[in-house]
Amino acid sequence: MRFTIAIDGPAAAGKGTISKAVAAHYGFAHLDTGLLYRAVGRKTLDGTQAVAAAEALTPEDLEASDLRTPQVAQAASKVAAIPEVRAALTDFQRAFARRSGGAVLDGRDIGTVICPSAEAKLFVTASAEVRAERRFKELMAGGHDTGFETVLKDVKERDARDMNRADAPLKPAEDAVLIDTSSLGIDEAIAAAIAAIDARRTA
Ligand code: C5P
């Protein structure tokens, strides 16, 4: 059985939480594609050239412990604007999407570029303020010392870079179901996602 679920949206909209829950619900494999860009971005912080880093990426690179920091997130969104970096990561994502047993991929361009024929597509979003508040709490809980305004600025900068790049900009696929999580709790957001996917599975 092959069934691809594409979940796109801006930073900290709840994609990761929803994707993990959806994958567990259907028993599908899950790929957080942001980790690929974060791993490449992290290598550039050590001085490696971005395209070379993307071409040489290994599964171990995705295990690095500091991929979730704001510095790596910014570096990721910079390397993500380079077409050769995106190209180097495409085959791996497409192969993952078509593995037997079903797959959930979350990112920015899954429904538009990586898997345009995914069986189900969601676009998960929320206001910048709500997203920054969530990310701020996550970072503080993880022991990062930061301020809400800094996180909000970071989120807005990353949104602008992701939406305005020429190659694979962040935008909903025409056939994506939009889920705004601004005023939804985690369980409600997950239920909305599963309802939207079930509608595609039985269609
Ligand atoms: O999802 P996450 O915040 O981990 O992604 C980090 C960065 O990687 C994003 O800001 C975006 O620039 C880039 N990215 C992308 N395409 C994807 C996933 C992530 O351009 N499919």
Which range of residues forms the domain containing residue 122?
4-201
Q: Summarize the confidence of residues 157-186 as an average pLDDT.
A: 96
CA dist., res. 130 & res. 10, Å (int): 12
Number of domains observed in the structure of the chain:
1
**Which pLDDT tens digit goes with each residue over 91-140?**
999 999 999 999 999 999 999 999 999 999 999 999 999 999 999 999 99
Alpha carbon nearest to ligand 1 atom 20, residue: 80
The protein residue whose alpha carbon is closest to atom 19 in ligand 1 is 34
Instruction: Please tell me the predicted confidence (pLDDT) of residue 201.
Output: 83
- The overall average pLDDT reported for the chain is 96
CATH of the domain at 52: 3.40.50.300
pTM above 0.75, yes or no: yes
User: Which of 36, 69, 108 has the most ligand 1 atoms within 8 A of CB, as the residue to mutate?
Assistant: 108
- Of ligand 1's atoms, which has the minimum distance to the CA of residue 80? 20
Q: Does residue 154 have its Cβ closer than 6 Å to ligand 1?
A: no
Nearest to 9 by CA among 200, 171, 196, 183: 171
**Distance between CA atoms of residues 26 and 22, nearest Å:** 6
Q: Where does residue 105 fall: left (phi above 0), alpha (psi -120 to 50 degrees), or beta otherwise?
A: beta
